[in-house]
A and B are shown apart, each in its own frame.
Chain A
Amino acid sequence: MADQAAPQTALLAGVPGRSRAWMIWLAATAALALVAPHLLASGFGISLLNRMAIAIVFALSFNMLLGQGGMLDFGHAVFFGLGGFATMHLLKLADAGIFLPVPLLPLAGALGGLVSAVPAGWVATRREGTSFAMVTLGIAELAVAFVVMLPQWFGGEEGVSGDRSAEPALFGFDFGAALQIYYVIAAWALLAAVLMWAITRTPLGRLTNAVRDNPLRVDFLGYDPARIRFLCFALAGLFAGVAGGMQALNDEIVTVSNIGSAASGAVLLMTYIGGVGTFWGPVLGAIVVTLLQMALGTLTDAWQLYSGLLFVFMVLWAPGGLSGIILSHAPLLRAGLGHRLLARYLAVVPAALLTLAGLIGLAEMAYRLQAVRSGGAPGRLFGFAVMPTDPVAWVAPTLLLLGGLLALRSLAPRARAAWQEAHTLLARGTPR
């Protein structure tokens, strides 16, 4: 057993193997969170880390529903945003002189998320599957309408803003500095992630998985599936509220857009790209998508289109997301079957790059054409000056795209076959 090989430190003695692996993971993550801002010692780097931490908590709470419970919540940002508003109102009270320790304010977010998720969940969790999703869409619209209707509470277009450093310093920290608020946010992210992970190991967590797989059977085992869905929904709302509270502290402003459909769409994108089948998938997705958004969002207007295409691509060809891809290859690599895949996989790369170049070329041309039509400059693309108004200029990217697609058509199935072959070999237990 691997347990005996591992050194038995006093701290971990007596802890079963699986939990110990998790504790090591946790310690490593905490250590990374501690040193990360010093590795990236720039204001931009720290704000990036903060956004990632917030996204991670939000995506994990979303996956409590989608991945764990099979519930697609189109309005998850409602709880995120209302948690944010709750936190912000307390922050304003604190600004007004009432003693409220700033680092604890995301608790108000948790409460805000929970309180709003209870009535929403009461209505929505009576249904399951696609109907559930549609009902949450209606609830989200309703919530946005209410928030817009009540500018006295939600600040209308401008939203509600506060100042986290306005109140008297707490033990010498006033949380105005980026690094100070980073540690507050990182601590909340770690705490929330650990709690959400712990919940997966409880009876409710396991029953949630069971309801996802087969609600009918759960009903015949003594549990009301609607009640399980409801509890899961309420908890997910609570953690979304925590994420909203973290964001309120970070940005010092919360607006209607934080509860709207774009925010709900963003969390779906992150979670799905990371993969809903594992606990850590959404963490990966939150990190990757936040990075992509930072990198591409400044580089091109087409970021929204690209993320939409990426999402469709994942739904069609990689429904397990990044974590699914990793999980389906890890055992192959461990068994030394990697070399069987490498050649076939590498063959796909040029074709994929060709397709991508064609796609990006067409999309960028189209965006430039819009820019030119509204009186802007077309700019350069891949170092070339582009003339989007000239039909000839569209020929090259179109050819690239078609050529790439044709090549993919013949190469992708071969890569897939190699992968399947490797799995058969693995199942038969004859590596190499």
Chain B
Amino acid sequence: MTENTALALEDLHKSFGATAIIRGVSLDIRAGSCHAIIGPNGAGKSTLFHLITGRLKLDRGRIRLAGHDITGLSPHRVFRHGLARSFQVTSLFPRLSVFENLRVAAMWQARCGHAYWRSVAGYPGLHGRVLDMLENLHLTPRRNVPAAALAYAEQRTLEIGLALIGGAHTILLDEPTAGMSRAETERAVALLRRLAGGRTLVLIEHDLSVVFDLADTISVLAEGQVIASGSPQTVRGDAAVRAAYLGTAAEDLA
């Protein structure tokens, strides 16, 4: 591990019952990079994110975030060390407005704590930060709509926004563009490019055009193991990856 490693995974293992899902994953993710994780369905990509963020307990292994050992911490503690995430299955606050969704996500960073004696409107910077994010997400006209009433693509955009607004230095995005149309995907990619600025992005993505567009490193996960890792060019040429990606995806890779 070097000085500028944002996230270091050391020999992670996880089984559900008798089935081993993650079987010895080790990865170093460089600070400030955009690192894509690809792999077939059921490879364990989401499970890997759940392990990193404390949603699931590791069987074995160590996780370091910017030098801090975060192994075994609960999700909110992991967040406080500077790691945020989005979900593959949209996970918002359905009855809260878009504005309120984003504000809740920005509270920890604005040092709101658990205050119940002070109006949330009185925190310097919080309001403006939410307005900026609304603007960036192109959701300003929808700011007072409950999240449940948004269109699907808008919900996915808000999902990304919740992960980005909290000021984390490392952000894990689980299939941010899943289910989006071509045009919507392009907008999401532009958004990520704009907002990434100096932060570390770890991206699970099936859409290979997005991957090659954004990522500067790609790791391929198959059956719970990293079978290839490197620059887009190296991964593209890797024989093992081709084997794992038989079918349509293989042609995309070529």
Q: Do chains A and B touch in the complex (CB under 8 A)?
A: yes
Q: Specify which chain A residues have a CB less than 8 angstroms from the CB of B117 in the assembled complex.
A: 202
B217 interface residue per 8 A CB criterion:
no
User: Which residue of chain A has the shortest Cβ distance to B110 in the bound complex?
Assistant: A203
A357 interface residue per 8 A CB criterion:
no
- A204 near B76: Cβ-Cβ < 8 Å: no
A217 interface residue per 8 A CB criterion:
yes
- B115 near A206: Cβ-Cβ < 8 Å: no
A307 interface residue per 8 A CB criterion:
no
Q: Specify which chain B residues have a CB less than 8 angstroms from the CB of A219 in the assembled complex.
A: 74-76
Q: Specify which chain B residues have a CB less than 8 angstroms from the CB of A209 in the assembled complex.
A: 93, 95-96, 100
Chain B at the A interface: SS class: loop
User: Which residue of chain A has the shortest Cβ distance to B85 in the bound complex?
Assistant: A220
Q: Using known A-B contacts A217-B93, A221-B108, A224-B76, determine if residue A202 contacts B115 with beta carbons closer than 8 Å.
A: yes
A207 interface residue per 8 A CB criterion:
yes
Interface positions of B from 160 to 182, Cβ below 8 Å from A:
162, 166
B116 interface residue per 8 A CB criterion:
yes
Q: Using known A-B contacts A210-B93, A235-B116, determine if residue A221 contacts B79 with beta carbons closer than 8 Å.
A: yes
- A213 near B107: Cβ-Cβ < 8 Å: no
Q: Specify which chain B residues have a CB less than 8 angstroms from the CB of A206 in the assembled complex.
A: 100, 103-104, 107, 120
- A202 near B92: Cβ-Cβ < 8 Å: no
Interface string of A358-389 (1 = CB under 8 A from B): 00000000000000000000000000000000
B58 interface residue per 8 A CB criterion:
no
**Assembly CA distance A206 to B106 (angstroms):** 12
- A220 near B119: Cβ-Cβ < 8 Å: no
Q: How many residues of B contact A (CB 8 A)?
A: 36
**Assembly CA distance A43 to B95 (angstroms):** 44
A203 in complex: contacting residue of B74, B92, B112, B166, CB < 8 Å: B112
**Assembly CA distance A229 to B28 (angstroms):** 37
Q: What is the size category of the interface that chain A forms with chain B?
A: 20 to 34
Q: Specify which chain A residues have a CB less than 8 angstroms from the CB of B96 in the assembled complex.
A: 209-210, 213
User: Which residue of chain A has the shortest Cβ distance to B113 in the bound complex?
Assistant: A203
User: Which residue of chain A has the shortest Cβ distance to B126 in the bound complex?
Assistant: A203
Interface string of A205-242 (1 = CB under 8 A from B): 11101101110111111111001100100010000000
B84 interface residue per 8 A CB criterion:
yes
**Assembly CA distance A381 to B108 (angstroms):** 63
A199 interface residue per 8 A CB criterion:
yes
How far, in Å, is B183 (CB) from chain A's closest CB? 25
How far, in Å, is A131 (CB) from chain B's closest CB? 19
Interface string of B83-109 (1 = CB under 8 A from A): 011010001111110001001110111
Could you list some 12 contacts between A and B, CB below 8 A?
A198-B119, A202-B117, A202-B118, A203-B107, A203-B115, A203-B120, A217-B87, A218-B76, A220-B75, A221-B108, A222-B107, A228-B114
**Interface of B toward A, CB cutoff 8 Å:** 53, 55, 74-76, 79-80, 84-85, 87, 91-96, 100, 103-105, 107-109, 112-121, 123, 162, 166
**Interface of A toward B, CB cutoff 8 Å:** 198-199, 201-207, 209-210, 212-214, 216-224, 227-228, 231, 235
